[in-house]
Amino acid sequence: MTKLVSVVVPVYNEKDNVVLLSQTLRDTFAVLPYRYNTIFVDDGSTDGTADVIRRLAAENKHVRYISFSRNFGHQAALKAGLDMADGDCVISMDGDMQHPPELIPVMLQKWEEGYDVVYTLRREDENLSYFKRTTSNAFYSMLNRLSDITIEKGAADFRLLNRNVVEVVRNFQESDLFFRGLVKWSGFKQLGIEYDPAKRNSGVSKYTFKKMMRFALQGITSFSTKPLYAAIYLGFVFSLLALLYIPYVLYSYWMGHVISGWASIIVTIAFFGGMQLMILGIIGLYLGKLFMQSKKRPIYIVKESNIS
């Protein structure tokens, strides 16, 4: 039987892009020897995106959809699509047309060559602002320094996963999902290919600076406890500085340059402040792990779907 390819597309307020993307995917697969379906995951859109997708599903048998009860975030929408996908391989891509569908045949070719994961690396866009390019590079540099995995600069959520990898990913129950790291962490035979991002067809980017910062912190904390260790080290530093401060206090006392009560207060505050930070870091190391595992809320809530 002809192999089935599922294309998962998380969307949020992309009503002007989903029709074009659906048509482009249909044209792409028309010349490929594969069956396919497209799973649009509406992440609580407020601009009528869900209605457009619903009409597409009624007109096109290849279109499926999942609609959330509210906005749960891009990574949760991606998880929902992977949970529902039934293809022999699953391709995830954004709905803003910046991930070129023309790259899909290349990804499928690499998949047929035996790769379980074919991920994409976005070439640096010179049209982006200096600030955005700098912060993006800083994010990947910091993530690789603070975690036990290595993610190449420009890694995107435009990737192909073999069925065995999808089954592994479906079992992840983390509340703070970071698929760029999770897929890399899972292992398997992986290959990265570069691409030039296309211009957004319509609308504006949904990743504000605040969301990008949150995404960065989410990625770092999902794969590293080093920030907590940093708090411990910082506590040791302050404690050491307090100890080194004692000779100066004694010198000031004997030379008569000390203000009454000042020395003892400063030394006490600095020493115990450092100790408290160190202890809080140790407690946070364990409490953070327990806290992330103890919450058993669903990652997303499906309001409507045409997938049985």
pLDDT tens digit at each of 308 positions of the chain: 789 999 999 999 888 889 999 999 999 999 999 999 999 999 988 888 999 999 999 998 999 999 999 998 888 899 999 999 999 999 999 888 888 888 999 999 999 999 999 998 887 766 565 666 676 666 667 666 766 677 777 778 899 999 999 999 888 877 778 888 888 888 889 998 888 876 655 555 555 556 566 666 665 666 666 666 677 777 777 777 777 777 776 776 676 665 566 666 777 777 777 777 777 776 776 677 677 677 778 889 999 999 87
- Give domain status of residue 308, yes or no: no
Q: Which residue range forms the structural domain that includes residue 288?
A: 226-294
- Give domain status of residue 11, yes or no: yes
Centroid of chain to Cα 256: 59
Shared domain check, 271 and 122:
no
CB 179: neighbour CB atoms within 10 A?
Answer: 22
- Give domain status of residue 119, yes or no: yes
Half-sphere exposure of 62 (CA within 13 A, CB side): 21
Query: Which of 200, 224, 248 is the last residue before a domain boundary?
Result: 224
Q: Which amino acid is at 227?
A: P
- Give domain status of residue 301, yes or no: no
Shared domain check, 201 and 231:
no
Half-sphere exposure of 61 (CA within 13 A, CB side): 1
- Give domain status of residue 305, yes or no: no
Shared domain check, 198 and 116:
yes
Cα–Cα dist 206/47, whole Å: 13
- Give domain status of residue 140, yes or no: yes
In terms of residues, how long is the chain? 308
Cα–Cα dist 255/36, whole Å: 84
Shared domain check, 246 and 132:
no
- Give domain status of residue 299, yes or no: no
The contacts of residue 217 (CB under 8 Å, 6+ apart) are none
The contacts of residue 139 (CB under 8 Å, 6+ apart) are 212, 216, 219
Cα four-point dihedral sign 254, 255, 260, 266 = negative
Shared domain check, 144 and 264:
no
Query: Which of 192, 224, 256 is the last residue before a domain boundary?
Result: 224
Q: pTM of this prediction? A: 0.72
**β-bridge partners, 92:** 8, 159
Query: Which of 224, 256, 280 is the last residue before a domain boundary?
Result: 224
Give all strands (DSSP E) within the chain, no chain letters: 4-11, 35-42, 63-68, 89-92, 117-122, 155-162, 190-195, 302-305
Domain count, the chain: 2
**β-bridge partners, 120:** 193
- Give domain status of residue 302, yes or no: no
